[in-house]
Amino acid sequence: MPSRALAIACLTVVSLATPGRGADAVAIRAAIDRGVAYLKATGQDADGSFSPKAGPAVTALAVTALVRSGVAADDPAVAKAVAHLLTFRQADGGIHTPGAPVANYETAIAVMALVACNADGRHDREIATATAFLRALQWDEGEGRGPDDPAYGGAGYGRQQRPDLSNTQFFIDAAPPAPPRTIRRSSGRWRSCRARRTFPGRTTTSPIRPRTPTAASTTPRPPAARARRGRRPTAACAATAR
């Protein structure tokens, strides 16, 4: 099955499984069940992988989609996929194809899958080493960048690749929800990610610098005025707000 089509199917199932949607709950559940059945029956190879030629990322997406849709971590389809995913563990702690130029992307998505299956702590060690690998890829003082640099706090495909918003979002999403298994969301690294600002229609970022309060900025505005000035957050900003 083409990896692009399978990846779209995985992302669709994850999207439907996200709570808070206003559509009919019965229809959503039925769509999720059809997606889960499709992934199990059509997408998975005998070794547990999904689109293995694409590397571990599509398998990790499928694991995340299945578990977030209510499939148990011990379900044979999930267990086989996770076992296959862990064959990509590298000595540097990452979970990626050896020598892959997309090591950050693959490892971040693999961590998301392992976290989804880690209610009982079975993957603590793998998550910890992979998280340490991801931290080393983040652009900060180690790359000679400071808080005033637009690249500061971001993540790219690998150590030598400039940061971009897509990889930075995956880096943020890979932060598990509670220490000690996480990149703590209150840490300097997490805050430096949140200090990246996106602009609609542009693939660029800039650091958010502290503003000097003025009389105008400290005067409370009426609710109607605040509503008129509201802006819809971009996808990357919305991810950092989780």
Give yes or no for a contact between 30 and 42, defined as CB atoms under 8 angstroms apart: no
- 229, burial (CB in 10 Å: exposed 0-12, middle 13-18, buried 19+): exposed
Give yes or no for a contact between 214 and 151, defined as CB atoms under 8 angstroms apart: no
Closest Cα to residue 97, out of 49, 54, 161, 156? 54
- pLDDT tens, position by position, for the chain (242 residues)? 455 555 555 655 555 555 555 568 888 888 889 989 999 988 899 999 999 988 999 999 999 999 999 999 999 999 999 999 999 999 999 999 998 888 999 999 999 999 999 999 999 999 999 999 998 888 888 888 889 998 898 988 765 568 888 888 888 888 755 444 344 444 555 445 544 433 333 333 434 343 444 454 445 545 544 444 444 444 443 444 44
pLDDT, position 220: 53
Q: Which token pair is 231?
A: 């802006």
> What is the distance between the alpha carbons of residues 15 and 131, in angstroms, rounded to a whole number?
24
In one-letter notation, the amino acid at residue 198 is T
* Helix ranges (DSSP H) in the chain: 3-17, 25-38, 57-68, 76-86, 103-116, 124-137, 165-173, 188-194, 215-218, 223-228, 235-240
In the chain, count H helices and then E strands: 11, 2
